A = this chain, B = another copy of it.
Amino acid sequence: MTRATSRRPGGRTARNTAAVLEATLAELGGSGYADLTVERVAARSGVHKATIYRRWGGVDELLAAALEQADHDSWTPPDTGSLESDLRALGEEVAAGFSSDDEEGSVATATIAAAFQSPAAAEALRAFMEERLRRCAEVVERAERRGEVPEGTDAAEVVRAAVAPVYFRLFISREEGAGQAAARAARVAAEAAKAGEFRGSPPGR
């Protein structure tokens, strides 16, 4: 959508967009968010910095665009046979993804950081997480079809309960053991879901 309003979406513009976003991801993976700068992205991509400032506006918007791109991937939640183990796999995936230094984890971590400083990044993160939660609903819906959980279970809320403790340890309390936390959170969330604690939409909806 970045170029939806453009009058010349083809050729060089498209090439520049690709080069810049790719360079952004590479810089993130290499140096992290703290050292992410427009000048470095410009140098790596071969696109002039003035162009980047004009088209995106700054580092945070650049990051938002990169995340938006990542949003269009083909990720699907795990399917292991039971709600609890699906949730556990999900949580462990989160813990592993953010802990590792691979590109995907770096982008996500950087965006969480950037969201504190830029409305554009915050919005990009919100949209990304919304989409992820939407896809994760599948996990709960399968459980519902299996009869594991009652009908009308708020799928997103179950997933939130399962993964929130992992994120909490990673970025809020900054503790070790996010991976182990996934198992317990998954169990608690699954049990609560079976007991019908997550039935119906939350009050504020």
Contacts and interface: CB of A to CB of B under 8 A. Distances in A.
Interface of A: 33-34, 109-110, 112-113, 115-118, 122-123, 125-126, 129-130, 133, 157, 160-161, 163-165, 167-169, 171-177, 179-181, 183-185, 187-189, 191-192, 195, 197-198, 202-205
Contacts of A112: 116, 171-172
A123 B174 CA distance: 8
Closest 9 CB pairs of A and B: A113-B116, A180-B204, A164-B168, A126-B174, A164-B164, A129-B173, A177-B204, A164-B165, A188-B192
Q: Is the interface of A mostly helix, strand, loop or mixed?
A: helix
B164 A180 contact: no
Contacts of A163: 168
A101 B125 CA distance: 22
B180 A172 contact: no
B197 A181 contact: no
